[in-house]
Structure 1
Amino acid sequence: MGVKTQEIHRELRDRICFLTYPPGSRLGEIELANEFHVSRTPIRGVLAQLEAQGLVNARRGVGTIVTEIEPEALLQTLELRKEMALLLCQMSPVEDARPLSRGVAALMRQCQVRGDTLTVTEFAKLNAKFFELIQQISGNAALREVTEKLYYLTARLWVHSIPKLNLRDEIGHFIAEMTDVYMALQRNDVRAVGHIRWLHLTGSIDRQAQHFRNDLQEEELAV
């Protein structure tokens, strides 16, 4: 995949994951080709990759449609992500992870300075930057590819849930996680980073599962 195609893929993936393109949105080849000043061929390649990642479906006679958010299935994917967080820090870890702490510290400062002024989308983008930073802890390219796919597959569920959760609390959880990871990186304790990620993902899953159960109860009461 060429550099331009990679940029288009990243942009469209982010629009889907941060709900700029909500579920059910139609992605037109011609419109996207015009927007990015390319032919339809690279757009088709990008859409095929997004479909392989579970973010869109190509429907004959309709076009390419952003997939629906299915909380139950995505919560199961989050459970897998939790275990993969441990593997990421065990398989081919970098010899010296301490330089990564500088990037974590910068993200912590952004969260602390912006605080309550962060929007859901801005917060989600900071979370994605943190994820991509931690990806660098492993030298196993195949594992990084799998964990990246799982992250962006579940990112929409998280962005979708936050408005009904407490954004200030979620920012607090995020800062706490980054603080713990920062301290572990400063010690070059890569395995500790994996366990910290596992613990915080467990808390996130529990909160989202409770939100999902509450939604189901509200739907049942409304019937």
Structure 2
Amino acid sequence: MTDQDVTASSDVADLLSQASSAQERFQIMYSVLRDRICMLVYPPGTQLSEEALASEFGVSRSPLRKALQILEADGLLLSQQGVGTLVTEVDLQELAQVYELRLELNELTGRLCPRPPDRELETLFNGLKLRAERLIAAPDRAVFARLNIDFFHAFQQLTLNVPLQDVSEKLFYKTCRIWLTLIQEKDLPQEVAIFCGEIMEIANAVRLGDFQAAALIRRAHLSMGFNRLKTATPQSSGLESG
């Protein structure tokens, strides 16, 4: 992954044309659509057209429909009779308990089936540190969103516990849009600095092989972030992206 959005139509079409199986094509479509929703390429309330997406991706509507159905089960889409498929709204109150559960699961990441430290993992987090430094120098909402997703997946690699990874991923994608929808443009540099500071702290813990410390750092930052979100005023808790 890079700082750039990798969900552009041409990139997706290339990936799908190179896929070796129907399951791989499904996973590509599912992941791309999920990222577009969570990066607000498709803001809340957006109506998705099966016909347009099938044409864009160069696939039939049947495998695409499967991806949309799973995204609906994830709570990111909603099918309404006579209206179509819509991107769901983001409601902090509705997702508060999901966020609280994420706090506990992140701490478990440092204790359940920890992955043995290795050079590959250290290199991965060093790359994230470099991206964080660039983002601090030039705060950008889309780059922030991409880095947030990529950092989550890197953090997932600290544990080899597959059920924990699966549950954590579902919950992450339920809540990760909250930041983009609630952060006002004037507050973006501050939030970027806080988030990038977290990445650097965790990268240092990973370099030392202390995954429990990394997990505690992650939990602390999630808790502080959640409390900042809860204090957002009604005016700043609208669903504008900036």
Higher mean alpha-carbon deviation, 33-42 vs 95-104, is at 95-104
1:93 to 91, 96, 114: 114
1:165 to partner: Cα distance: 6.1
Corresponding residue pairs, total = 217
2:184 to 130, 154, 163: 163
- 1:178 is matched with which residue? 199
| 1:98–1:185 contact (8 Å) kept in structure 2 | no
2:94 is equivalent to residue 47 of structure 1: no
- 1:17 is matched with which residue? 38
Higher mean alpha-carbon deviation, 105-114 vs 194-203, is at 105-114
What amino acid maps onto 2:98 in structure 1?
T
What amino acid maps onto 2:197 in structure 1?
A
| 2:39–2:142 contact (8 Å) kept in structure 1 | yes
Higher helix share: 1
- Alpha-carbon spacing, 1:76–1:116, altered in 2? closer, same or farther (3 Å): farther
| TM value normalised by structure 2 | 0.83
1:120-139 superposed matches below 5 A: 120-139=141-160
- 2:17 is matched with which residue? none
Relative contact order: is structure 1 or structure 2 higher (C-alpha 8 Å, sep ≥ 6)? 1
1:61 to partner: Cα distance: 2.3
Structure 1 stretches of 4+ with a deviation exceeding 6 A read 216-219
SS for the counterpart of 1:20 is coil
Distance 2:236 2:161 in 1: 43
| 2:38–2:173 contact (8 Å) kept in structure 1 | yes
1:98 to partner: Cα distance: 5.7
1:75 to partner: Cα distance: 2.8
- Alpha-carbon spacing, 1:198–1:80, altered in 2? closer, same or farther (3 Å): same
2:141 is equivalent to residue 115 of structure 1: no
- 2:234 is matched with which residue? 215
| TM value normalised by structure 1 | 0.90
RMSD over aligned CA atoms reads 2.0
SS for the counterpart of 1:22 is coil
The one-character-per-residue Cα deviations of 1:157-187 (angstroms, maximum 9, x if unpaired) are 1111222562111121122211221221122
Distance 1:197 1:97 in 2: 20
Identity of aligned residues (%): 36
2:224 is equivalent to residue 206 of structure 1: no
1:73-92 superposed matches below 5 A: 73-92=94-113
Gaps of 5+ in 2: 1-21
What amino acid maps onto 2:31 in structure 1?
R
Distance 1:104 1:170 in 2: 20
The one-character-per-residue Cα deviations of 1:102-138 (angstroms, maximum 9, x if unpaired) are 2222122122134342311111111111111011111
- 1:33 is matched with which residue? 54
Distance 1:139 1:106 in 2: 21
1:67 to 88, 111, 121: 88
Distance 1:89 1:54 in 2: 28
1:198 to partner: Cα distance: 0.6
What amino acid maps onto 2:92 in structure 1?
P
